[in-house]
Amino acid sequence: MGDYHFVYKDLEGASTQWDDIQAKLGNLPPKPPAFKPPPFTPASDPNSLPKDKSWIDSKTHDELEDLEDELDDDRFLQEYRKKRLAEIQEAAKVLRFGSVTPISGSDFIREVSQAPSDVWVVVILYKDAIPECGVLMQCIEELAARYPATKFVKIISTDCIPNYPDCNLPTLLVYNNGAVKGNYVGMNRFGRRCTPEGVALVLCQSDPVLNDGQSRDEESRQAVIDGVRKRFIEKVVADHEEADDDSSSD
């Protein structure tokens, strides 16, 4: 009868005594280390986050709607959820524009005179051939993007007022509740160097024309005006520092 040798294999990754001897003699390659699964780390559950004001503030409108049943046991959070929903819905009512809209003479009454009473409308009368119109238009476009709850429109001067003199261009008209609140003819009011901050200060001298859409109350609009003044001062200081650097390098 033949001489049979049985080699019993242990669990995968484990080394038998026979394997150890053969590995020492160089007949087998080194055994790879035994497989070890990575430690279990449970996935973070977003619902396990602490439920407080900041947690509710991070939710979208739809998510807040879905939370109604989940917060039934916590009266405070349920009330705060209702408050946040109301704030989001109110903010959605604020008209947002964000750019300078071209209009024609036939659009003027609908787009300007009949705009909602709580919307301020800034109209620029212009002609493409007049360089000063391009300078002021750049400022107006920047302000339109910065204050999207204020409506900005542009119209070719003679489409708005027949025979309107080119020497009066550009002209800015400010409307609110169907009435003219401001009339700025030419570039003189905006200073030697026309900037968005300078134009914003002129527009807000007597009325809260600019509105960033965050809130409709006067306190928020005053904050907008204060922000305009702050940016204007910072720009003036930066321009002076740049001028001083240029003069010192000569």
Are both 107 and 204 inside the same structural domain? yes
Region class of 178: left (phi > 0), else alpha (psi between -120 and 50), else beta: left
**Rounded to an integer, what distance in angstroms lies between the CA atom of residue 32 and that of residue 13?**
7
Q: Which residue has the higher pLDDT, 96 or 197?
A: 197
- CATH number for the domain harbouring residue 151: 3.40.30.10
What pLDDT score does 93 carry? 63
How many CA atoms lie less than 13 Å away from 98 in the CB half-sphere? 4
Which one has a higher pLDDT value, 240 or 216?
240
Helix (H, G, I), strand (E, B) or coil at 82: helix
Residue 210 covered by a domain: yes
Both tokens assigned to 71: 């917060």
Amino acid at 71: L
Q: Answer yes or no: do 104 and 88 share one domain.
A: no
Angle between helices 196-203 and 218-249 (to 10 degrees): 140
* pLDDT at position 34 over 70: no
Q: Could you list the beta-strand ranges (E) of the chain.
A: 100-102, 120-126, 151-156, 171-176, 179-185
Same domain, 106 and 83: no
pLDDT at 177: 94
Regarding whether 107 and 25 lie in a shared domain, the answer is no
- Mean of pLDDT values over 114-143: 95
Domain holding 79, by residue range, is 52-93
Residues 79 and 203 reside in one and the same domain: no
**Domain identity same for 107 and 130:** yes
Tell me: pLDDT of 193 over 60.
Answer: yes
pLDDT for 131-187, tens place per residue?
999 999 999 999 999 999 899 999 999 999 999 999 999 999 999 999 999 999 999
Residue 188 resides in a domain: yes
**Residue 148 sits in the same domain as residue 214:** yes
